[in-house]
Structure 1
Amino acid sequence: MTKSRRQKLSDELRSWILPSTSNIIIQGDVDPNEIHRCLLRIRERQLVPFIPWGPATIQIALARRSPYIQTSHRVSGVMLANHTGITSVFKRMLDQFDRLFKRNAFLEQYKKFENILGEFDDARATCDELQKEYKASLETSTKIMIAQWSCMHYRMMCCDVDVGTRAMGKLKSCSLYRQCRNFNLILGLKIDLSHIDMPPSISRRFNEYLAAQPKLDADPAIRLATQDKTYDVFIAGSGPIGATYAKKLVDAGFTVLMVEMGSADSFVSAGVDDIQVPGAHKKNEIIYQKNIDRFVNVIQGALNTVSIPTSNLAIPTLDPNVFQNTKDKPFISLGKNPKQSPFDNLGAEAVTHCVGGMTTHWTCATPELHPTIERPKLDNDSSKDQQLWDRLYPEARSLIGCFQGEGKPFEKNRVFKPLPLACHRMSNPDYVDWHSASNILQDIYVHPEKKKLFTLLTNHLCVRLAVDTSSKPGSVKIALAEVKNLLKVASGSSFQESTMYFKAKVYVIATGAVKTLRRVLLSILYNSGFNSPKTPSYVQIPNLGKYMTEQPMAFCQVMLKDQLIRNVPTNPYKLPWWDGKVDRHARTYPNDPIPIPFRDPEPQVTSPLSADYPWHTQIHRDAFSYGAVAETIDTRLIVDFRFFGYVEPRAVNYIEFESDIQDPYDMPQPTFHFQMSSDDRGRAHRMMKDMCDVALELGGYLPGSEPQFMTPGLALHLAGTVRAGLDQNTTVADTNCKIWNFNNLYVGGNGVIPTGFGANPTLTSICYAIKSSEAIIAQLGGGSGGDKTPVIQDGTYRLANYDSGLYWDISSSTSGTNITVQDGDDTDAPTSQKWTLKFDKNSGLSTFTSVYASNLYAGFSGSALQGSALVGTTTSAKFTIEKSGNAYTVKENNSGLFLTVTDDEKPCNVMLTGTSSAQTQWNFYTV
C-alpha cells in the first residue's frame, strides 16, 4: 500500500480488488497510520473501487507475531484486503455479542427506554447480513496482494491464480512461498499451487490435506438449496416465448419447471374434459367482443410503468403543511426513479405481470420482419439464412395460430392488405377468438402424459441465478435459480421460508411476455452479478442491456368521409356477400343512420414496411391503453392509424439498473438511456407525413386524436437488450439464444432481436424460441421424463432413443390413423442405428410432396425432391431411416427413393413432409 505514487495499479487489479478499511498488519516498522493514510489516498484517487458500506470503525489491527511465516527478516507482513479478514472479525464480534446479550451483561441501563431492545435485534441482523455479504463475495478465483517488507524496502505483487504457470512462477520466486508451511494459509488465500514444482514431501502433504477439505462454494445459495429434484429445464416467464420453449421441450420428453411472478388470472376451457388452461386472452370475454372500447380499461389496469423521473418533481400548489419530497431526497417507490433523466426516458414503457404476459391483452398482430431491412441474420450464408426463416416462420405461425391473409408478406410496390393476426373467427362469425400463450400451452394441459412433465409456479419471482464454482472461462455453468414465493412474503414468512432454490440442466430466462418484459429479464441477469465489477471477467456479459431499440410511433384517429358511408349500400367493391348483410341490417334497423351492420368486424389493414416506406402501418380499430372513443360517437365511423418506425441499434442506447433503488418487487430499478439518431428522427418525420396523407384520404381527424407522436415506449416493443447474433463482440447470445461463454443459460423474447424493426416482433421472437429449443434438445440428448417407449396421444407419437440421441416425432392431424414405431436395431449402437416407421391407413400415403434437410448447428442445409411423387400401397407405406457413422439415410422402401444427409460433427436435423389424399400431414425430425 505504500508503494511509489508513480506506480499505477493495473486495470486488471483495479477491476478485481475491493479493499475496505479493514486490514491486518503483522508487527514491523511500518506505521499503521501510514497504511491508513495510503488507503485513504487510494480511495480519494479512485484507483481501486472500495466497498462504500464497509464498517468505518474497523481500521487497523496489529498482531505481535505471524503464526504462519518463519523469516529472518526484521520486518514482515501480510495484508489481507477486503473479505478475507472481515468475515472472521464479524463472526467473533457477533459471537461475543450473543454471549453478552444472553447474560444481560449490558442491557440494564437500556431497559428504561421503551422498545429499545428491538433495536439490538435489528443491529445484530444488520451485522449478520454484512457478514453474509462478505462471505458470499469470496471467489474461487480471487486476486490477492502479498506484501513483504525488508529492513530497507518491501516488495508487492499481484497474482492471478487462474493465469497458470506465469503467475505461479512469480509466486514461486517469492520468499513467502519458499517459507510457507501452513496449508490453512494457502487455502485461506485461495492460492492454486497445482502448477508449481513443490518439494515432494510438501506436495504430498498438501494434496492429502486439500483432498480432505470440503469444496468451497462461491455462492452461499448453492449450499442452501434444499430441492432434491433436478429438472431438465428451468424457464422464467410464461408468455408466448416461455410457452414455446415449454411446448417444444415437453414434446421432446423433458421435464420443465416454469415460474411466473404474476398470477393466473385468465383461463380458457380445452379438451373433452374442459380443462382450464391459463394465460387466455381477456378480450375473448363477451362484454369486450360487444364493445371493444371497454377493453381499454383492462389494458390500462394491466400495465405498470417502468421508470418515472422524480428528480425535478415539485408541486408548488400543495398545502405547505403537508410532507413534500425535496431535491436531495425525491420519491423512489413504485417505479419512481430520481436517477432517470426525463430527456433519455422511455416514459410509457410498461410491463404486465400474469400468466400469458402481454398476450392476455395484445393486438395479436403477427407480421414477418422485412427480409433485407428488419430481419436479423441467422447464418452468414444468405441462402442458408433464408432457408432457416422459411422453416421457422411457418412453425411459429402454427404454434400461435396466425391468419396470414392472401398474397406475399412483402410486395415490390406498396399495397394495402389484411393485417396478419393470431386469431380465428368462431362458428358465429360475429365473434373472434383472440389467441395468446394459452394456445401454445393448451397441448400440454390436455394430454395427461405431457402434463406430468410440466410444472407451473405462479406468484413466484426468479430473483437471480447462481454460478457453479466449477465454471471455467468459456464454459460458465449455472448451478441453480433462486426463486421467491411472493404469496409467502405477503403472509409474513421469513426469507428462508419464502425462498426456494431450483436446480436444472438448462436455464431459460424468457420473462418478456410478448412485447416488453425485458426489464425483468435484465433484472435477473443484473441481480445475478453478471455485469458487476465484483464478478470474474469471464462470467460477465459485457453487452447486456446495450443496443436497446424502440419504435417511434405516430397516431391519429379519423371519422370516415360522408361519401364513403353513403356508398356502402352500392357495394362499390362488388363483393358477393356485401348486399345481403347491408340489406338485412337496413330492414332490421330502419332507424339506424349508418348502413354498416352493428357486428361488422373492425378493419384490420396494413401496408408492410418497404424501402420506400420504411415503417410498419396498422389501419384498424382496436383497444389500446390510449385512443378511447367518447361514448357519444358511433365507433363504426372511427378508424385508428398507428404507424411504427424503427431505430438503428446503437450501444449508446442502453438500460442500467440501480443497486440502491428497488422496484415494487425488490428487484433493481431500471434506468433508460435512449436518444434517436439524426437518421432515426428524419425517418420518423417522413412517417408522420405519410400517415397524415393516408388518413386524410379516408376522413377527418377526430378532435383530441389529431396526428401526434406518442410518448417513447408506448409501442411496448422494446428490444435488443439481450441481442442474439453471429458477432460475439456486439451481442449477448448466439443465434440459438445461448449466452456467450455460458453452457446452460439461454434467453428469449423481443430482447434477442438485434436489429431495428418497425413491425410487431412477436412472431420473430417465437422463431428464435423454436430454434433455441431445438438447440437445447440437441444439447441435452435425452429427457429424464421419457424412455424408449413411444408417447402416443391423439395421433402424436414420439420415439426417443437416449443411447444414440436420436428422436422421431410422427404427428397426424387426421383421426383414425394407426401408426407403429419400431426400433430396428436391438443393440442401440450409436454408430449404426436403424429405425423403421410403418404407417397403416386404408387410404394409404398417396403423395410425398417434399423432403427438406437442414443442420442448424454445423451450417449444412439443402433441399431435394421438391414435388416428387412416391407411390405407396393402399394399406401401408414404409420408410427406413439408417444412421451409419456420420451419414443419415431416409429411404422409401416401395420405390427405393432415398435422401442421404451427412454431417461430420453433429447430428443433422431431417424433416420430411408428406400429404395423403385425406390431407394428413406428417412431420418427422431428429436432432
Structure 2
Amino acid sequence: MTRYPSEVDVAIVGSGPTGAAYARILSEEAPGTTIAMFEVGPTVSDPPGAHVKNIADPEARARAQAASEGPGARGEKVANPGQAKAGVRAARPGTFLLEDGFRFEGEDGMPVAAMSSNVGGMAAHWTGACPRPGGSERIAFLPGLDDLLAEAERLLGVTTDAFDAAPFGAIVRERLAVAVDEGRTAETRVQRMPLAAHRRDDGRLVWSGSDVVLGEVTRDNPGFALFDSSLVTRVLTEGDRVVGIRVRDLRTDETHEVKARFVVVAADALRTPQLLWASGIRPQALGRYLNDQAQIVFASRLRGVETLGADAPTTGLAEYSGVSWVPFTDDIPFHGQIMQLDASPIPLAEDDPVVPGSIVGLGLFCAKDLQADDRVDFADEASDGYGMPAPRIHYRLTERDHDVMERARVEIVRLGEAIGDPLDSRPFTLPLGSSLHYQGTTRMGPTDDGTSVCGPDSQVWGVEGLFVAGNGVIPTATACNPTLTSVALAVAGARSIARRLDTEFLLMREKDNRMQES
C-alpha cells in the first residue's frame, strides 16, 4: 500500500522555508485545503524541519548534518580558508557539492556550489540572517513588497534583540558606525542583524528552521502531510495546465502519481529548474541569470576590550559580539555581515586557538552583474546522484564584478582596522558558490517577454497552476541574504492559490445549489 495520497489540492516539492511558507499560508487562509509536501531527503530533526543548531548533543547534531549530505560520497568539509587557498573543494557540514559540471574551460564556474537534502532544506543549516533588501535589490514591479516582507518576518520568527546581552556587540557596532554611517540614511546605517532566532524563557537561543515557518497551524492541519525520502521526478501536465506529480519512494524505489490542482516546486535554485527541465517545461529563461554573491572574508582582533578567559564557554554559537549588519547601498554594492569568529559558518583563523570574545569575523557579499548566459543547464545524457538530469553550470565574472570585488577587499580591510587589529594584511576571496545564495534561475518578471520564468505571483508562464518558489525566483542582483525575500515571494504565491481555491469553492457551491434547485 502506498504511503502517498492519490489526489490533493496542492502538491509542494521541497520542505525548505519557501515550501513551508506555502503550506502555512494555505493552512491559515484556505482551511480545508489538502496539501502534500514531498522532500527528497530524510527527517533529521524533531520537530521535522528544525535547525540542527538546536540539537544540543554534538554527536546527534553531526549525525543530522551527515544525513543531509545527499547521495554518494560525503567528501571533505570546510575547516578554514586555508583549505580553499590550497585548492581543496570542500563543503560545509550539512551540504554536498556537485560531483562535476561546476566549471568549464574559459569560465569561472562555481566550484563549491552546494545543496542539502533533508526535511527543512538549507534552513536546517543556515545562519538565520534576514535583512530586508534595499535600493536596487528591491523588486520594483512587485506591489506591496514591504507588507510581504513583514509577513515573511512573522513566519520566520525574525527578531533583532536575540544578542542584546552580548558584551561586545555595541562596541563593534559603534566602531563600525564611525567608519560607515556618514552620509547614509537611517535604514542603511550599521545596525543589529535581523535574525530568525529567539530566546526561550530559560535564556536558550533557538534558531528558526522550516518548523517555525510551518507552525502549529500547519502541523495541526488534518489536510497537511509531509513525505520525506520522496524524489519527485516529473511535474505532470495536460495541455497548458498542471495535473500532478510523479514521485519515487526512495525507501521502496516504487513510483507513484499524485494528482494535484496546483503544484509548487520549491526545491532550490539548482534543482527547481532541474525538475522543470526533466518535465519538459522549458521556458526560454529557465536556469538563466544564475547569480551567486562573491564573498570576501577578513578577521580582526578587538582592541581595548577585556578579552574573556580561555575557559569561557564556546558551545554552539558564541554570544560575545552577536551579529551586526552593514546594509547594501547602490553606491556601495555589498552587504556586510559581522559576527563573532566562532559563530562564522567558515572559520577564519588558521593558526592559534581563538580566545573567546577577542576576534571578530567580517564578511562582505557582493552583488552580481546579471547576465543571461550565467546559467545552469542540464545534460539529458548524464545523471546526478538521484538519477535526474545532471546540472551543468556556466558562470563568468564580468569586469564590473571584478571591480566590485576589489572595492570590497579595500573596504573590508578598512572595517577590520576600525574594529581592531587585523589578523592578516589581506582579505581572502572565498571560492565562487560559497555564499549558498544562488538566485535567478526561475526568476520572476512583470511580463512574459522571455527573460523570466514566472509572473509576479510566481506562477510559471504558460502553465496554469504551476508555481515556483525559493531564492531562484528573485530577479534582482542582491547582496543581502535572500531568504526573507524569497519567503515574501512565497507568501504572495500562496495567497494567489488561496484566492483561486476560494473562487473554485464558491463556483462549485453555486453549481451544486443550481442542481438541487432543478
With structure 2 as the length reference, what TM-score do the two structures score? Answer: 0.81
Aligned to 1:347: 111
Offset, 1:694: 0.5
Cα deviation, residue 441, structure 1: 1.6
Cα shift readout 1:524-560 (whole Å, capped 9, x = no counterpart): 11111223xxxxxxxxx11101111111110122222
Q: Identify which of 362, 365, 372 aligns with 1:641.
A: 362
Give distance in 2, aligned partners of 1:781 and 1:629: 58
> Counterparts of 2:216 and 2:3 in 1: how far apart (Å)?
31
1:416 paired to 2:190: yes
Equivalent AA in structure 2 for residue 553 of structure 1: Q
1:146-161 alignment to 2 at 5 Å?
Answer: none
Letter in 2 for 1:263: P
User: Which residue of structure 2 aligns with residue 392 of structure 1?
Assistant: 148
Aligned counterpart in structure 2 of residue 559 of structure 1, from 287, 291, 301: 301
Which residue is 1:458 aligned to?
228
Q: 1:413 to 1:754 in 2, by over 3 A?
A: closer
Within 5 Å, which residues of 2 pair with 1:222-371? 229-251=6-28, 252-253=30-31, 254-267=33-46, 277-287=47-57, 302-303=68-69, 335-337=98-100, 340-341=103-104, 343-370=107-134
Counterpart CA distance in 1 for 2:311 and 2:469 is 47
Q: Which residue type is aligned with residue 459 of structure 1?
A: S
Structure 1 SS opposite 2:136: coil
Q: What is the distance in 2 between the residues matched to 1:702 and 1:719?
A: 32
1:425 match: 199
Partner of 2:299, secondary structure, is: strand
CA, structure 1 residues 597+721, in 2 after alignment: closer, same or farther (shift >3 Å)?
Answer: closer
* Residue matched to 1:73: none
Secondary structure of the corresponding residue to residue 297 of structure 2: strand
2:308 counterpart of 1:608: no
Q: Establish whether residue 510 from structure 1 lines up as the match of residue 266 from structure 2.
A: yes
Relative to structure 1, is the Cα distance of residues 297 and 341 closer, same or farther in structure 2, using a 3 angstrom cutoff? farther
The structure with the largest alpha-carbon Rg is 1
Looking at structure 2, the residues matched to 631 and 400 of structure 1 have their Cα atoms a distance apart, in angstroms, of 37
Cα contact 2:244–2:261 (8 A) shared by 1: no
1:651 and 2:372 matched: yes
Residues 1:402 and 2:402 aligned together: no
Change (3 A) 1:362 1:227: closer
1:620 aligns with one of 321, 333, 339 = 339
For the residues of structure 2 that align with 1:234 and 1:780, how far apart are their CA atoms?
A: 14
Q: Deviations over 1:263-311 (max 9, x none)?
A: 11111xxxxxxxxx311011112356xx9xx9899768845699xxxxx
1:623–1:299 CA distance, 2 compared to 1 (3 A): farther
> How many Å apart are 1:466 and its aligned residue?
2.3
Alignment of 1:885-900 (within 5 A): none
Partner of 1:547: 289
Cα offset for 1:394?
1.2
Q: In 2 relative to 1, CA 232–707 (structure 1 residues): closer, same or farther, beyond 3 Å?
A: same
Identical pairs, percent: 26
Cα 1:802–1:265 change in 2 (3 A) is same
Kept in 1: contact 2:21–2:213 (CA 8 A): yes
Output the CA distance in 1 between the equivalents of 2:243 and 2:443.
Answer: 23
Asked if 1:667 is matched to 2:361, the reply is no
Residue 743 of structure 1: SS of its match in structure 2?
A: coil
C-alpha deviations, 1:764-790, integer Å up to 9, x for none? 101110100111112222688xxxxxx
Aligned pair partner of 2:428 in 708, 723, 741: 708
Residue in structure 1 matched with residue 245 of structure 2 by the alignment: 481
Give the alignment partner of residue 524 of structure 1, picking from 272, 275, 280: 275
Alpha-carbon separation, structure 2, partners of 1:690 and 1:728: 39
Partners of 1:646 and 1:305 in 2: CA distance: 32
Task: Please say if residues 649 and 754 of structure 1, whose CA atoms lie closer than 8 Å, have aligned partners that are also in contact.
Answer: no
SS state at 2:270 partner: helix
Summarize the Cα distance change of 1:300–1:605 in structure 2 as closer, same or farther, 3 Å threshold.
Answer: farther
Q: Per the alignment, do residues 506 and 628 of structure 1 end up closer, same or farther by CA in structure 2, a change over 3 Å counting?
A: farther
The CA deviation at 1:440 is: 1.6
How far apart in 1 are the matches of 2:485 and 2:431?
Answer: 25
Structure 2: distance between partners of 1:628 and 1:440: 34
The offset of 1:628, in angstroms, is 6.7
Contact 2:413 2:426 in 1 (8 A): no
1:247/1:727 CA distance change after superposition, 3 Å: same
Where does residue 139 of structure 2 map in the other structure?
376
1:624-667 deviation per Cα after TM superposition (whole angstroms, max 9, x unaligned): 15547768332321211110011132111111111121111011
Distance 1:247 1:412 in 2: 33
Whether the 8 Å contact between 2:15 and 2:38 is mirrored in structure 1 is yes
TM alignment of 1:106-185, pairs within 5 A: none
Query: What is the rounded CA distance, in whole Å, between the counterparts of 1:617 and 1:748 in structure 2?
Result: 26
| Cross-structure match for 1:921 | none
Shift of 1:716: 0.4
Give the gaps of 5 or more residues in structure 2: 73-95, 165-180
AA in 1 matched with 2:208? H
Q: 1:436 aligns with which of 209, 222, 230?
A: 209
How far the C-alpha of 1:226 sits from its partner, in A, is 12
Does the C-alpha gap of structure 1 residues 614 and 262 become closer, same or farther in structure 2, counting only changes over 3 Å? same
Match of 1:915 in 2: none
Q: In the aligned structure 1, how far is the partner of 2:314 from the partner of 2:454? A: 51
The residue number in structure 1 matching 2:445 is 725
Contact 1:304 1:350 in 2 (8 A): no
- After superposition, what is the alpha-carbon deviation per residue over 1:647-702, rounded to whole angstroms, capped at 9, x for unaligned? 13211111111112111101111111111222222111111110111112223344
- Matched to 1:560, the amino acid is L
SS in 2 for 1:689: helix
Give yes or no for contact 2:295–2:363 (8 Å, CA) kept in 1: yes
The aligned length equals: 462
Could you state the TM-score of these two structures normalised by the residue count of structure 1?
Answer: 0.46
Matches of 1:597 and 1:671 in 2, distance apart?
40
Task: Indicate conservation of the 8 Å contact 1:717/1:760, yes or no.
Answer: yes
How far did residue 722 of structure 1 move?
Answer: 0.3
Tell me the CA shift for residue 804 of structure 1: 7.3
Q: Distance in 1 between matches of 2:155 and 2:229?
A: 26
SS in structure 2 at match of 1:650: coil
Task: Identify unmatched segments of 5+ residues in structure 1.
Answer: 1-224, 268-276, 307-332, 380-384, 490-497, 513-517, 532-540, 569-584, 586-591, 785-799, 806-826, 829-927
SS in structure 2 of the partner of residue 440 of structure 1 = helix
Residues 320 and 357 of structure 2 are in contact (CA less than 8 Å); yes or no, is this contact kept in structure 1? no
**Alpha-carbon offset, residue 361 of structure 1:** 1.1
Q: Work out the CA distance in 2 between the residues paired with 1:616 and 1:300.
A: 30
Trace 1:38-53 onto structure 2 (pairs within 5 A). none
How far, CA to CA, are the matches of 1:257 and 1:688 in structure 2? 46
2:258 is matched by which residue type in structure 1? F
Mapped contact 1:724–1:754 kept (Cα < 8 A): yes
